[in-house]
Chains A and B, each alone.
Chain A
Amino acid sequence: MIAQNIGFAIIAAVMIIAAVRVVTTSNVVHAALWLVVVLSGVAAQYILLAAEFVAVTQVLVYIGAVMVLFLFGTMLTRSRIGRDSGLNNTYWKLGIPVALVLFAAMAVALVNSFGDERMPTDDNIVSTQQVSDQIFGPYLLPFWALSFVLLAAVIGAIVLARKD
């Protein structure tokens, strides 16, 4: 348990530094690459929680697909090497209270619902089969709803991209 806590602390520290660099760096591509570090940190935390399937999904979806598309897009449009000016929105200070409120709300929610409860140290490894049983059992309706949203998004993208 001690080793896991140390691992958590190291990964969390790396993630915080990388997250700060995402918003402070003066190059769009660098910001995207720092975001890759943050998202891989999330995958590592999932591994620490023995949530193998979620961790692999995180790598496949966020690093393998979303970030590659981000980088693809930025490199195709504004791919200058070196410092970019004017990256900061004039209203960026508004983000600080929003972040603080969000943090407070999540902290309160977590403490209220779990309090002093501890995760079981053993036997909390959820197999992929259990995950799929849950998705296609009790959570079938939300799953379908999400699929329809994605389908609508895909069709919308095609409609927007078509010239004729």
Chain B
Amino acid sequence: MFALLAVEIPYWGQSLLRVLGGLVAVLLPAGTIVYLFLFKMMSFMQSRLGPMEAGPYGSLQLVAEVGKWLQKEDIQPESADKPIFKMAPIVVLMSTFLLVVVVPFGPDAWFTDFETGVFYALAVSSISVLGILMAGWSSANKYSLLGGLRAAGQLIAYELPMVLAVMGVVIQAGTMNLQQIVFAQNASSMFGFDGVGNPYVLTQFVGFVVFMIAIQAELTQAPFDMPIAESELVSGYMTEYSGFRFLIFFIGEFATAGVFAMIASTLFLGGWGIPFAWFGWTSMDDVSNWMNIAGPIIVITKMLVLTFLIMWVRFTYPRFREDQLQRFAWKVLIPVSLANIMATAVLKVAF
């Protein structure tokens, strides 16, 4: 990012740029997902037009919605635990911001080149559970508490298959650094053919499917949306939130979807890279500077493809029952991903 500008930026300037970049990397996907998928694709799948009045094809509807939420009254329940009630949405959104930090967007365009990148991402994604539990408990509302507890049980259950699914990728790449995982996918070849690199979605297909199911559950999107089931729990832990605080939860939900999709695309689809053989790059230093511009665009494109999958499933399948959810996690996903780790480790040693 900074090599491209060919100027020396002081440390505080770099930090400022990183914060601004993080804001863009969280809010841009959230806005795009809400307009493109939640407004337009959902309407198309349900044979209606969706918002059409604000701006061309309703593209400014988002601005109207944000304005609506900002001017709504901020209501807090009388018997709520007010400090925790106010903190909860911020904790949820903070987990999203901590998550985006490890996603690489180009050879030099990264926020932090964390050595234990994948591990870190899995760790901070579990912080959002705390925020949800706080929201559910502090609302002083039975439905909210039930929603919070359901969310915690679900997130604990699906954290495990997610970690185990990623293990296959880590074994195959031999590193937990996301930047090097990108490099490993784009610089390697399959049986001597290096035209498409070696995106792990091909060799780790089982891991990819398990990971996508796990993030669907982790994001509490349908069919895993029991924590916010509106017909039984009146939106669960979000019931008592209104106005700006609800907006934070709403942004957090879709921003996390985008960030998880970015991490999935980095782990399984080759991230910001294009097969390095196309341009004869053999090491990380060979990669041209223009990849710092093209990289983010490639990541966003892959992210949109993956969020399309997430939303497609969301709008298609009916909600699971609570026992079906737990049974699916513990009796299907975890054994499958353990078998995947075994197979990957054996093949890694064999080749």
- Residues of A in contact with B (beta carbons under 8 Å apart): 29-30, 33, 36, 52-53, 56-57, 59-60, 63-65, 67-69, 71-72, 75-76, 79, 81-82, 127-128
**Besides A57-B123, A59-B126, A64-B159, 17 other A-B contacts (C-beta < 8 A):** A29-B137, A36-B130, A56-B123, A59-B124, A59-B127, A60-B119, A63-B127, A64-B126, A68-B130, A68-B152, A68-B156, A71-B152, A72-B149, A72-B152, A75-B133, A75-B145, A81-B79
The answer on a CB contact under 8 Å between B116 and A56 is yes
> Contact check: which of B79, B119, B130, B145 meets A63 at CB < 8 Å?
B130
> Contact check: which of B115, B119, B136, B159 meets A75 at CB < 8 Å?
B136
Q: Which of B79, B133, B137 has the most CB of A within 10 A?
A: B133
Residues of B near A52 (CB, < 8 A) are 114-116
- Main secondary structure, interface of B, reads helix
- Verify if B134 is at the interface (C-beta below 8 Å from A): yes
Residues of A near B129 (CB, < 8 A) are 64, 68
- Verify if B122 is at the interface (C-beta below 8 Å from A): yes
Residues of B near A57 (CB, < 8 A) are 119, 123
- Verify if B176 is at the interface (C-beta below 8 Å from A): yes
CB-CB nearest in chain B for A36: B130
The answer on a CB contact under 8 Å between A75 and B156 is no
Interface 0/1 of B319-347, CB less than 8 Å to A:
00000000000000000000000000000
Residues of A near B120 (CB, < 8 A) are 56
The answer on a CB contact under 8 Å between B116 and A79 is no
| CB within 8 Å for A63 and B126 given contacts A33-B134, A56-B116 | yes
The distance from the CB of A2 to the nearest CB of chain B, in whole angstroms, is 15
Residues of B near A36 (CB, < 8 A) are 130
Interface 0/1 of B151-192, CB less than 8 Å to A:
011011001000000000000000010000000000000000
Residues of A near B176 (CB, < 8 A) are 128
- Residues of B in contact with A (beta carbons under 8 Å apart): 79-81, 84, 114-116, 119-120, 122-124, 126-127, 129-130, 133-134, 136-138, 140, 145, 148-149, 152-153, 155-156, 159, 176
The answer on a CB contact under 8 Å between A81 and B140 is yes
The answer on a CB contact under 8 Å between A72 and B123 is no
Residues of B near A59 (CB, < 8 A) are 123-124, 126-127
Q: List 8 A-B contacts (CB under 8 A).
A: A33-B134, A52-B114, A56-B120, A59-B123, A60-B119, A68-B126, A72-B152, A75-B133
The distance from the CB of B119 to the nearest CB of chain A, in whole angstroms, is 5
The distance from the CB of A76 to the nearest CB of chain B, in whole angstroms, is 6
In the assembled complex, the Cα of A76 lies from the Cα of B134 at a distance in Å of: 13
CB-CB nearest in chain B for A75: B137
CB-CB nearest in chain A for B125: A64
CB-CB nearest in chain B for A80: B140
Residues of A near B136 (CB, < 8 A) are 75
The answer on a CB contact under 8 Å between A127 and B81 is no
The 8 A-B pairs at the shortest CB distance, nearest first, are namely A64-B126, A60-B123, A59-B123, A71-B133, A56-B123, A56-B120, A81-B81, A72-B152
Residues of B near A128 (CB, < 8 A) are 115-116, 119, 176
Residues of A near B137 (CB, < 8 A) are 29, 71, 75, 79, 81
The answer on a CB contact under 8 Å between B130 and A67 is yes
In the assembled complex, the Cα of A160 lies from the Cα of B140 at a distance in Å of: 32
In the assembled complex, the Cα of A128 lies from the Cα of B120 at a distance in Å of: 12
Residues of B near A71 (CB, < 8 A) are 130, 133, 137, 152
In the assembled complex, the Cα of A82 lies from the Cα of B82 at a distance in Å of: 11
